[in-house]
Amino acid sequence: MNTHRGFESPPLRQENIVNIEIIKSVLLNWTTFWVVLIGATFIYMWRQGQLLRLSAYVQETREELKKCTWPTWDELKGATVVVMISTLLLGLFTVGVDYVLVIIVSWVTKI
């Protein structure tokens, strides 16, 4: 009985190419960095009075938007159709001018 089975390669031993612990520590470092940066920016803006200015700006913007009149659905649909038709016409015009210019340039270069 032949017990020799020929060449047998050792089992593939894949080493951890990427160490999970390193990834976790890097992500934790980056997360800590961004938390500290955002916190420092918040504290700086608060001490400079920028947060009060920002909140006043947002409040004034909301008040101004309440004064606006918004289009109805019919007006919105009509305006959308006008924009789509205008875009189509401008595209066709651009294609037409491009075609004419190609013919002119090819005619000039043949001379």
For residue 16, the model assigns a pLDDT of: 55
For residue 98, the model assigns a pLDDT of: 98
Give per-10-residue mean pLDDT for the chain (111 aa).
56 59 78 91 90 92 93 96 98 98 94 71
pTM of the predicted protein model? 0.43
For residue 1, the model assigns a pLDDT of: 53
For residue 90, the model assigns a pLDDT of: 98
Give the CA count within 13 Å in the CB-facing half-sphere of 81. Answer: 6
The Cα–Cα gap between 55 and 61 comes to 10
For residue 23, the model assigns a pLDDT of: 75
